[in-house]
Amino acid sequence: MQILPNIKGPDDVKALAPEQLPILAEEIREEIIHVTSENGGHIGPNLGVVELTIALHRHFSTPKDRFVFDVSHQGYVHKLLTGRYGEKFRKIRSTGGLSGFLNREESEHDCYGAGHAGTALSAALGMATARDLNGTDEHVVALVGDAALTCGITMEALNNIRSSTKRLVVILNDNKWSIAPNVGAISNYLNELITNPVYNRLHQDFEEFLEGVPGGDRLKKFGSKVKQETKDFFSGDYESSLFEKYGLRYIGPIDGHDQKLLDQYMEFAKKSEDPVILHVLTTKGKGFEAALGDPEKFHGTSPFCKTSGKSKSGKPGPSNYQDVMGRALVDFCKKDKRIVGITGAMPSGTGLKYLRDELPEQYFDVGIAEEHAVLFAAGLATSGIKPVVTIYSTFLQRAYDCIIHDVSLQDLDVMFCMDRAGLSPNDGATHHGLFDISYLRCVPRAVIMQPKDEDELVDMMKTGLEHKGQSFIRYPRGASVGVQMKDDAEAIEIGKAEPLRDGDDIIIWALGPMVQDAFKLANKIGAEQGLHVGVVNARFAKPIDSKLLIENAKKARLIVTMEDHVVTGGFGTGCLEVLQENNVQTPVVRLGWPDRFVDHGSSGTELRAANGLSPQDMEKNILDAYRDAEPKAIAADTTPVLGYPSGK
Ligand SMILES: Cc1ncc(C[n+]2csc(CCOP(=O)(O)OP(=O)(O)O)c2C)c(N)n1
Ligand SMILES: CC(=O)[C@@H](O)[C@H](O)COP(=O)(O)O
Ligand SMILES: [Mg+2]
């Protein structure tokens, strides 16, 4: 490492001689491969933007100039070039390390954070418009991936640029990939642009421009061809690109790994007196064979072996919830052709890849377009199709009005599978699924459920598929419990909780994976305090099993609720409402995430410990509340203690 460690900021990048840039690029790739092999992370997207990001920092000057990266999962190079090489980068996406996304609190060079796709163009346009209003002269550059163009918000911003500002630089980073291969008409259109004769449509002052850039004369011979085409273009012989129809000057496509070419076109884009889009072709995973061979796997990966690319994760454990859901959905779709699965560009992450491969006619990937996914499902449902919308809890936030206004208000039969409900530790605040119960519990008729294990997940899928109305199943990222699966799923009576262990001193109502934690606490408190602690698998966050809850609360001295969700408006709050409405005074301790955003971290265990949710914290919370609660004169129940999953 000769250059990268000495890059303390963009000025050091500008000071490099051209012949040093390939060395810097090589060192950056080496660092990204090393760090992501240890921590996991978005290796593919970042290896694809090395030369592009170097060029950005050689021609623009953050923090005065503003870079807005769409999703910003491809921001590692930017971080390395803005003084963040070192220990914190080495721990990126882990406790105490950098965020995996741009973050305003992390650096003055990160003018805008992200994590969700489709926000960059609108935010950048806001910044450019603010600049015009303030009369300042900074440059604003939006880096947008080809799949981010499938987001509705991106098109809303495109529609607005021409009428809002004169100066905005948009870099379209076109690598043909979303997480899976990019989909839809916009993707096909970009391919058309690329397969046309490779030329750059430049404004007629192309020759003038060449005077102004180093090596411009070398391009002169090339310019004569372009000049002809420019004339044709302006004479209307060429149909202008989609982007010109939106009022942007389109330049491209150019090779996004050719540092010299990038230099020249960045300079042109910078000088443009019109909003300009520079169409850059890059290769996701460039510089790492395994990533080139499997861009989907290496879009965002867990730690891997640097030589083979093989995942480092230990011995195979229980299936991930996404795979259980995906395989079960195939079975349900085989039995009922009316059932279809819909994903927003994430067939692997949601598990819908099984349906894609086995029953492609019942599979729909709509691109990064969650609002459209829900509305599309609503349309399908009006014609007797039973759509299953599989979108991560956090990304479903994007489609909230479509859920209420289109699916719920019209009482259409749609089932939602919300993966990543709970923590996404390494991705952090933009990706934790901690709000879905709160944002859905207020929606009339919504059925919100969470399984205690993978077998119950399939039961809940059957329940939702048979339910006439709107059902939402939430389940966590990663491995399931490892229980024996039934041969045939059994529907669950809606609103029916599952008592698992008797108790009358304390009764814990746990949702989803918290059932495991509840049993551990019940066993420990029972053994050490001699208390009789019951456990109920709540199953439904809406409707709550009020009858059983009231019965439990009249019997016990304390009710505890446990959820992998914020407390504010969550499942525990629902239980409080039930007891209050029925005038049952038994105190309730609600164990869940506090009313604040939760950072990224190495694991759920570390994040829980950092947020007062370690097993010790929860035990203390419960015992303190128990001591403060009014004793109740009820004889201890001697019913034998049940265990779950196998008497643990
Ligand atoms: C609203 C939303 N939906 C889904 C995702 C998951 N996601 C993260 S990156 C990505 C693909 C982005 O593709 P592109 O914009 O082309 O960037 P690339 O990874 O190719 O550089 C997706 C679907 C997200 N971050 N936000
Ligand atoms: C950047 C982004 O939004 C996705 O790549 C996300 O990080 C995937 O999350 P999972 O790894 O949980 O599928
Ligand atoms: Mg892409």
List the chain domain ranges: 54-74+99-293, 321-474, 498-628
CATH code, residues 54-74+99-293 = 3.40.50.970
Contacts of 430 (CB under 8 A, 6+ apart): 101, 113, 114, 115, 116, 394
Helices (H), 68-135: 76-81, 87-90, 120-134
Report pLDDT digits (tens) over 218-243.
Answer: 555 444 444 444 444 433 445 578 99
Indicate the CATH number of 321-474 among 3.40.50.970, 3.40.50.620, 3.40.830.10, 1.10.3720.10: 3.40.50.970
Active site (catalytic) residues: 284, 370, 398
Q: Is the pTM of this model over 0.95?
A: no
| 44 alpha carbon, closest ligand | 1
In angstroms, what is the span from residue 195 Cα to ligand 1's centroid? 24
**220 neighbors 236 (Cβ within 8 angstroms):** no
In angstroms, what is the span from residue 115 Cα to ligand 3's centroid? 15
Highest CATH level, class, for 498-628: alpha beta
Residues contacting ligand 2 via CB (< 6 Å): 71, 73, 179, 299-300, 349, 420, 424, 427, 477
CA-to-CA distance for 139 and 448, rounded, in angstroms?
A: 46
Local structure of 464: helix, strand or coil: helix
Average model confidence (pLDDT) for the chain? 92
**281 neighbors 194 (Cβ within 8 angstroms):** yes
DSSP string, 466-477: HSSSEEEEE--S
In angstroms, what is the span from residue 347 Cα to ligand 2's centroid? 12
In ligand 1, which atom is closest to the CA atom of 177?
20
In this structure, which residue's CA is closest to atom 5 in ligand 2?
300
Report pLDDT digits (tens) over 134-151.
Answer: 999 999 999 999 999 999
Per DSSP bridges, beta strands 414-418 and 169-174 are unpaired
User: Ligand 1: which of 43, 46, 47, 71 to mutate, judged by most atoms within 8 Å of the beta carbon?
Assistant: 71
Contacts of 21 (CB under 8 A, 6+ apart): 51, 54, 259
Residue 101: count other Cβ atoms within 10 Å of its Cβ.
27
Q: Which of 532, 558, 527, 577 is nearest to 626 (CA)?
A: 558
Q: How confident is the model at residue 637 (pLDDT cuts 50, 70, 90)?
A: very low
Contacts of 489 (CB under 8 A, 6+ apart): 328, 458, 459, 461, 462
In angstroms, what is the span from residue 488 Cα to ligand 1's centroid? 36
Report pLDDT digits (tens) over 426-468.
Answer: 999 999 999 999 999 999 999 999 999 999 999 999 999 999 9
| 345 alpha carbon, closest ligand | 1
H or E element at residue 352: none
Adjacency order of strands within the sheet including 339-343? 363-365, 339-343, 386-390, 414-418, 470-474, 447-449, 540-542
- Residues of the binding site for thiamine diphosphate: 73, 115-117, 147-148, 175, 288, 370
pLDDT of residue 644: 57
* Cα 646 versus chain centre, distance: 34
Residues contacting ligand 1 via CB (< 6 Å): 45, 70-71, 73-74, 116-118, 145-148, 173, 175, 177-179, 284, 299, 344-346, 368, 370, 395, 398
**116 neighbors 398 (Cβ within 8 angstroms):** yes
| 48 alpha carbon, closest ligand | 1
In ligand 1, which atom is closest to the CA atom of 73?
9
pLDDT of residue 217: 57
Report pLDDT digits (tens) over 52-84.
Answer: 999 999 999 999 999 999 999 999 999 999 999
For residue 213, give the amino acid letter.
Answer: V
